[in-house]
A and B are shown apart, each in its own frame.
Chain A
């Protein structure tokens, strides 16, 4: 098992290394002159030269790449072009919003989707099953940021139960901060609930047909025990894989959802950085999020090893 996990860890590190090369190429080579992108074509030559010198754009490519990687490893990500503050501090401050938002969305997704999927499989071909599948079809098709706007219309504008946006801050008021994350997390998780419910349903349909489930039923096991102890545990293997993939979507989706709800998270930092053409921030956030996706997938591998003994032997 240790060999399996260490191999996965090495593969993730290699992917991350290649990702740094790709992001570096997109940000620093593709546009020709990054300073020109950041300041615009009407910038004065001396301002451009000063920016190039400040961010090291005038140094050779190889040297720039190595110093960026060294910075990533030591936590020194340079200074934001727009804010003037260290990028590491900017990101760190805003992770206090984005990470709880992502965690809440992932919790919504699993807490709602898995019971829905189990129910649909248990009542296969019934009206309930049809209802879950219709909901899932709709959930995949509705853009999550529109769903967010609809939630604002209903729960903030009409009913006034939740704020339409903004974030008070954990230090100010923990309860209100959690309250402010409810609608964003729900809109962020809509598509994920839809996908996860589908996957759970089809995985449960497969396991419910297995002989050991029939045996458990024949031995008189209670239906709840059959569903959750016998069938769901095995159905969870594909569900975990998809949940891992979903974490990547959640991280990407946060950029748009935080902008809808004006949450001061990493996502809205990216949005502001687009408008400020702050390539330094965008470059580092992209790598950070990629690392996060890879880390989540490693956790999924770990969960695999716990749920299913087979990969330990075959991999």
Chain B
């Protein structure tokens, strides 16, 4: 079955790779907060809601106190859900920005 589906998929769809990509420290502009140094940027563009939410949860748990994290997603359901996840992981929502078809969610781990 898989051998049959794969070539069709390769031909029909411009399929991208399946994993999330994480980049290290970079400067980000967060409205109302100015330029901040994000400890990690998690690019979850193209991912399903559940994968986006679980990858975010994993990152929030792993982040040290004070770290700023940027989560990039084009999954509207997840973009709506993620801010509500933050309190349970000792994080604060700094803001969400809509840029070129994706949403960038900025989070600070408070360590509470």
Judge: A and B partners, yes or no: no
